[in-house]
Amino acid sequence: MPALMLAASILAGFVAAGAAPAFVRRFGPRAAAWTALVPAALALYYLSLACSEPAVARVLPWAPSLGLHLSFTADGLGLLFALIVSGVGAVVAVYSSGYFGGDPRLGRFYGWLLVFMAAMLGVVLSDNLLLLYVFWEITSVSSYILIGFDHEEANARAAALEALVVTVAGGLCLLGGVVLLGTAGGSFEISTLLARREGIQAHPLFLPALVLVLVGAFTKSAQFPFHFWLPSAMVAPAPVSAYLHSAAMVKAGIYLLLRLGPLLGGNAVWTWGVGGAGLVTLLLGAFMALGQTDLKRLLAYSTVSALGMMTLLIGLGTPASLGAAVVFVTAHALYKGALFLAAGSVDHGAGTRDVRVLGGLFAPMPRTALGTGAAALSMAGVLPFLGGIGKEMAYEAGLGYGLGVAAAAVAGGLGFFFVAAVAGYGPFRGRAPAAAHEVPRRMWAGVWTLAGCGLLLGLRPGAAAGLLGAAAAAAGAPGMQLKLWHGFGPALGLSLATLAAGAGLYALRARVRESAARLTWRRGPEAAYEALLGGTLAAAAGLTRGLQSGRLRNYLVIIVLTLVGLAATPLLLFQGVHWPETPYDLRFGEMGIAAVILMAAGLAVRSRSLLGAIAAMGAVGYAVATIYLRYGAPDLAMTQFLIESLTVLLFVLAFYRLPNFATLSSRRARVRDGAVALLAGGLVTVLVLVATGLQLHHPISDYFVRTAVGEAHGRNIVNVILVDFRGLDTLGEATVLGIAAIGVLALIKLKRKEP
């Protein structure tokens, strides 16, 4: 069962995540690198799948009534991403054991890293959209924890929260879109939905579903205007940035766009929405990267730009552009992952990440320098690196679509070259003596591995052609050609022009940086996010202060008025007040009882003594119980008598030590309370009258009367209902009573402990 194996591979990630903390605690931080065996083994497994059959999808029911199945598919697209996730995961796991040294939090770190990996594998291997959503949210949560890994730092917490709020808000949109898609298509299985493409696109729910899914993908993949969380997330440790925020998690949105493109694409909204967002993000990210001085933020903005490039290519939707997107995704994961790891190494070895200060690190850190240089060359788009192939394919796709798109791609490529030079060449050039040291092997080896893959795949594209071709085919572009040399053509010209212009830009880097930093906005979408967050918190605080004043009588007034409002509004709006037609024939006895109730109520209000008021309230209750008795409900009456007695007792006990309340309320407060009480009483009266004049359904009491003796062996129908017919309700009520008693106990005992 290949699907079972796929499910097991994801499960293995979660199991490893659970075991990692204990493993690290038992065998020490140096042994932590061995946890990399899990992602490495998974990568080998996915590689073996990539070489064999093209696609499998099997279903294990989870919650079939919801359309939620554990169904997995391993086609080219899913396997490509799974390989990236597990492969980069293995490298990052080894790297982290060196990066963190003997940090005591290492076990926790590995646990969450593996949780993320398993969830990300779930995202790219799920065939069920609901299942995909579940994994999608797990990646958001693990990203939150990992960004806020240094949780004692306030800005780490704020950045983590920002990323969480943005991606989870997008996740909520995605869920809405998924549900709408499932409604329109009658299934949540992606493979089934793809087969029903025509019907879904014609469905009236298609447009809202499309927009919601796009918002979900854009937030996750940091597209404008949601891009701001990604640079903020750079407070995370370098391995996290390399793994989650460049190679894997931010690619989840790209994956979703590639996966659902054949289903949702081919219309103007898709082309303009996806393509437009990608175009803006590409240019904006490239421009904002120019002004950065922090190595990691520089790389982050260029990641935003690269994600924009992928989104743009997917939005164009031509076979050439989709093929370029797939190749570019792969190349980017390899070189950007390597560069982020290298940034961590540079920080580790030189103690700073400021690109204006860094320099001369080649001599002390030659191995890191070599790996970083290779990755930077791939990023700059130099042949024979995979990044070069990807860039040329992107240029070709742009030229095939229109000159404007090609120009934007070139502008993006220029930005990539600049960032590659600043991050991959700048820190190592020159001979400035720097007090730096080489990082341990497990750190530079990671950079080498990723950068080396980029070079090998560029030299021998045939090795990956099968998988990348299958991935492009799954995204809707069959027959992709992958070759190193594209021949002399306009794309090559543009490529050479980019290199030349990029070199010029780098030569002027100090002035470029200054001008770009000056032009970059201070109050972008991030300010809107902060205003929204601050406003929400302020409103919540205000509401809480207003509602929870700490005065019992205010609580009572609020509760009673809410009840009156909720009950009266539908009554007046939809029902209208219909008085019962037959008048009641009031007998003398009932009038007498009513008079007692009124008198006792008046006494309770007017009484200046606490005990007197309580006793008067008890009299009201007793009189009401008498009415029950007269109408033939002895059980109810008896319970009411007992409850009234106990209530009086409780009141007396509770109020025994209170001061005399009558002197505490002002006249205004008493008038207000009286109005509220009259409103509530009036509402209940109207409700009772309306309810008696209304008969919507046949009453169930006849059924109880018929069956009580025969089936429940009881002649007291009230009791039979309580203990048999409605036994579950009684169980619930008894539980509530118990909880209430515990609550009272806790309130009073806790209060006692106060000095």
Partner 1 sequence: MTSLILQVAVRVLMPLLLMFSVFLLVRGHNLPGGGFSGGLVAASAWALFAIVYGAGAARRALRVDPLTLIAAGLGTILASGAVGLVSGRPFLTGLWGALDLGAYGAWMVGTPLLFDFGVYLSVIGVVLTIIFVLEEE
Q: Where does this chain bind partner 1 (CB under 8 A)?
A: 634-635, 638-639, 642-643, 645-646, 649-650, 653-654, 657, 712-716, 718-720, 722-724, 727-728, 730-731, 734-735, 737-738, 740-742, 744-745, 748-749, 752
Nearer to partner 1, 523 or 713 (CB): 713
Contact 470, 82 (CB under 8 A): no
**Minimum distance from residue 244 beta carbon to partner 1 (Å):** 46
As a 3-state breakdown, the chain gives helix, strand, coil percent values, each rounded to 5, of 75, 0, 20
Indicate the DSSP class of residue 294. B
Residue 63's φ and ψ, nearest 5 degrees, are: -130, 80
Q: How many CA atoms lie within 13 A of 355 on its CB side?
A: 25
State the nearest-atom distance from the C-beta of 715 to partner 1, in Å.
Answer: 4
* Least distance (Å) between residue 706 CB and partner 1: 16
- In the bound state with partner 1, the residue whose beta carbon lies nearer, of 533 and 722, is 722
Residue placing its CB nearer to partner 1 in the complex, 611 or 731: 731
CB of 730 to partner 1, least distance (A): 6
Residue 581's CB is within 10 A of a number of other CB atoms, namely 6
* Cβ-based nearer residue to partner 1, 662 or 722: 722
Nearer to partner 1, 28 or 743 (CB): 743
Q: State the minimum distance, in angstroms, from the CB of residue 237 to partner 1.
A: 48
Helix (H) or strand (E) holding 201: helix 197-202
| Shortest Å, Cβ 714 to partner 1 | 4
Q: Which is nearer to partner 1, 632 or 699 (CB)?
A: 632
Amino acid sitting at position 151: H
Instruction: Give CA torsion, residues 256, 259, 263, 266, to 10 deg.
Output: 90
Q: Work out how close the CB of 595 gets to partner 1 at its nearest, in angstroms, rounded to a whole number.
A: 27
CA distance linking residue 437 with residue 569, whole number of Å: 74
Cα separation, 627 vs 623, in Å, equals 7
Residue with tokens 């979408």: 525
User: What letter does residue 226 receive in the DSSP assignment?
Assistant: S
Nearer to partner 1, 351 or 738 (CB): 738
Tell me the C-alpha distance between 303 and 165, whole Å. Answer: 20
Contact assessment for residue 358 and residue 352, using Cβ atoms and an 8 Å cutoff: yes
The answer to whether 237 touches 100, Cβ cutoff 8 Å, is yes
**To the nearest whole angstrom, how small is the minimum distance from the Cβ of residue 742 to partner 1?**
7
Long-range contacts of 483-486 (CB under 8 A, 24+ apart): 483/389, 484/383, 484/384, 484/389, 484/458, 484/459, 485/383, 486/392, 486/393, 486/396
Q: What angle do CA 639, 645, 650 make, to 5 degrees?
A: 120
Give 56 or 652: the residue with its C-beta nearer to partner 1.
Answer: 652
Nearer CB in complex with partner 1: 368/640:
640
Question: Which helix (H) or strand (E) covers residue 59, if one does?
Answer: strand 57-63
- Output phi, psi for 126, to 5 deg: -75, 140
Q: How far is the CB of 645 from partner 1 (least distance, A)?
A: 6
d(CA 547, CA 538): 14
End-to-end CA distance of the chain: 67
Least Å distance between CB 650 and partner 1?
7
For partner 1, the closer CB: 507 or 643 = 643
